[in-house]
Every structure is written in structure tokens, then in C-alpha cells.
Amino acid sequence: MADTSKKYCVHVFTGTGNSLHAARALKAALEDKGACAAIALIEKPQGCAMPAAAHVFMFPVYAACVPEIMLRHIGALPRAAGAKAAVLATFGSMEPGKGGEEGYALEEARAALSARGFDVFYTGVLAYPGNVTAMVNPPGPELAAKITAFSAAPLKAAAEAIFSETRVYKPCKPGMRAVSFITGGLFRHWGRKFMGKWFAADSKCNSCGLCAASCPAGVIKMSGGRPVWNFACQSCQRCINICPQKAIQVSLLRAALLTLTVLVPWHILFGLRGVWLPAALAFNLASYLIVCVLADVVLTQLERIPALRPALVFNLSAGRNRYLAEGFEP
């Protein structure tokens, strides 16, 4: 029976549109039951225009944890004094009917929401096409459509549980909490920031500026007609997938210089053998960061020279598919 007293605010973060696709399907399923639902993209400032009886938080799983931008959003919400909340994440799948790995993400979101005073009554996850184009080939359109279609039934079940306020928690698998702590911590504090710095535009870039305009974290600035990435990337994969020219690549030179240099024992190179280990590690970290910033500045300037670009932007990503959820327009 219709229940118009139920109003939902669906807080969404999405990189390539899967979580928004799921949010729209959830909204439709809730509205079929007579409820009201509003979708608020967390990257936009307006939020939900109506008071909500329940809040639903939807986001992609990143490195078995919650995206940093979603944790910040939750942390900035007013204290909830027992308001109802549900968590419905999406994770990556490369085969219809097979899910990815949510790790600690659902429990992490639940803990963050509980700390803000929410009563989290539901946590669940839906399988959508994997989107990490910077690292692996995402599914092509036909396979992506099949993977997405497989989530229709679980999504309806999630909508039913959320509407009826059934208490459902998907627990973290044994051992995954420790693994997620390492993967999520490394990704959140280091990996995502440097993955943004692996990107460079190749010669197909026509300076349209779409990548900069659509980045949800305001990471990309156009400079001299070319996109330049700063160190605040969420690694959401929107830019590499949205470029109409398929011009954004993962430069192997950038990836190697900005990642592998963390392994260089700088204290030995500088002749500081036998120093106290914590001091050596601090010296190595400082040297690594300086080298990264300098390498980035130099590479950014050299990439402006058309003759040097093919070598500097040498990559394995040009031949990969690009993936955006059907109908996704940020």
C-alpha cells in the first residue's frame, strides 16, 4: 500500500555513473510504493530539498573501503539524533552474476554514520561493471549491460528492505577487516592522490575542457589548453572514461617515476648509511615527495612539446574500452 509519509534522501557519490544508476533505480522502486525520494549528488552543494525520514548513502567501493569524499560528506552532516539510515554500495564485476569484494566498506560506512548519530538499519552492496580503466580493461557495452541487468533483482530486494525498515547487515568477511585496513589506508592516504598524477593527455586532446568541468573533486585545471591534475584525485575514473577523444592515458613514465621512486633508499644514495631507522625513513619519505613534485613539474612542461609527447605519454591504456554507466551525464 502507498505510504507517502516516507521521504528518502539518497546521498550519492559516483565516478562513472554506476552508483547514480543504482540510486535512480532505488528511487523508482521506492516511488512505486508511494514513497518520495530525492537524489543528492554529494559533489553538488544543494543537498536534499526536503526533510527526510530516512537517508540512503550510495557510493562505489574503493580498495575495500568507503571513498574518502563520502567519508568527508558523512563527517560534515549535522548530528542525526537517531535518524534512520541505509547504506547501499556498488562494487566492480567483470562477469554477470559475479560480485567484487566490498571488504570493510559497509561496516566502515555504518561506523561513520553511527558516529554522526544515525540509526543504520540496512547495509548492502550491488554488483556493477568494474570501472578501473587506469589499470584494467573495463567491460565493453554488451557485457556491461548484462552485468548491470543482473543487479536489477537484488536492487528491488534492497528497496523492499529499506522501505519496510527490515534490519539487514552484510558483515565483513573474516580477515577482510585487516586486509581492508591496509588496502584502504594506502589507497586513501597515498594511492588515489598519485593515481591522478599518472594521467596525461595524449595528442588526441582537443582542449575541450570536459574532463576539468566534470571532475567531481575539482582536481583538473586547464592550462595552456591541456588538462593538469593536482594531488587531490579520488581516483574515481571519470576523466579517463568521459574524454570524448579517448585522449587521457596512464603515462607509464609518470606511473613509474611517481610510484616506484618510493622504493629508492634515498638515505643510502645521499651517503647516510647506518642512520637511525626512523630518521632514515623520514628522510626517504621527504626525498620521495620532493622528487615526485619536481618530476611532475618537469614532465608537465615537457608533455607540452608535441614531438616529445608520444614517448612521455607512452601507455597501455589507449587500446582499452572506456566505460560510463548508460545515460550517465555528470
Ligand X SMILES: Cc1cc2nc3c(=O)[nH]c(=O)nc-3n(C[C@H](O)[C@H](O)[C@H](O)COP(=O)(O)O)c2cc1C
Per CB under 6 A, the list member of 9, 19, 113, 188 interacting with ligand X is 19
How far is residue 41's CA from residue 11's CA, in Å, rounded to a whole number? 6
Nearest to 20 by CA among 59, 55, 50: 59
Does 128 participate in binding ligand X (rule CB under 6 A)? yes
Burial class (CB in 10 A: 0-12, 13-18, 19+), 239: buried
Per CB under 6 A, the list member of 23, 42, 63, 248 interacting with ligand X is 63
Contacts of 271 (CB under 8 A, 6+ apart): none
How far is residue 198's CA from residue 218's CA, in Å, rounded to a whole number? 17
Q: Three-state DSSP class for 114?
A: helix
At how many degrees (to 10) do helices 141-150 and 152-163 cross?
A: 30
Which one of the spans 76-84, 163-171, 230-238, 283-291 is the region binding ligand X (CB under 6 A)?
Answer: 230-238
Does 130 participate in binding ligand X (rule CB under 6 A)? yes
Closer of 124 and 196 to ligand SF4 (Cβ): 196
**Residue 277, C-alpha cell as written in the block:** 631507522
Does 131 participate in binding ligand X (rule CB under 6 A)? yes
How far is residue 277's CA from residue 282's CA, in Å, rounded to a whole number? 9
| 90 φ/ψ angles, rounded to the nearest 5 degrees | -120, 145
Residues 219 and 210: beta-carbon distance below 8 Å: no
Q: Which does 17 bind (CB under 5 to 8 A by kind): ligand X, ligand SF4, none?
A: ligand X
State the nearest-atom distance from the C-beta of 222 to ligand SF4, in Å: 7
Does 199 participate in binding ligand X (rule CB under 6 A)? no
Does 211 participate in binding ligand SF4 (rule CB under 6 A)? yes
Does 97 participate in binding ligand SF4 (rule CB under 6 A)? no
In the chain the first and final C-alpha atoms are separated, in Å, by 34
Does 106 participate in binding ligand X (rule CB under 6 A)? no
State the nearest-atom distance from the C-beta of 241 to ligand X, in Å: 9
Return the ∠ at Cα 308 (arms to 305 and 311), rounded to 5°. Answer: 145
How far is residue 146's CA from residue 287's CA, in Å, rounded to a whole number? 48
Strand runs labelled E in 42-114: 54-58, 84-93
State the nearest-atom distance from the C-beta of 113 to ligand X, in Å: 19
State the nearest-atom distance from the C-beta of 301 to ligand X, in Å: 28
Q: Which does 130 bind (CB under 5 to 8 A by kind): ligand X, ligand SF4, none?
A: ligand X
Per CB under 6 A, the list member of 53, 210, 275, 280 interacting with ligand SF4 is 210
Does 61 participate in binding ligand X (rule CB under 6 A)? yes
Does 220 participate in binding ligand SF4 (rule CB under 6 A)? yes
Residues 255 and 237: beta-carbon distance below 8 Å: no
Binding mask 232-271 for ligand SF4 (x = CB under 6 A): -xxxxxxx---x-x-xx-----------------------
How far is residue 117's CA from residue 267's CA, in Å, rounded to a whole number? 47
State the nearest-atom distance from the C-beta of 266 to ligand SF4, in Å: 28
Instruction: Write out the residues near ligand SF4 by the rule CB under 6 A.
Output: 15, 196, 201, 205-211, 215-217, 219-220, 227, 229, 233-239, 243, 245, 247-248
Interaction site with ligand X (CB under 6 A): 14-19, 60-64, 90-92, 100-101, 103, 128, 130-132, 235-237, 325
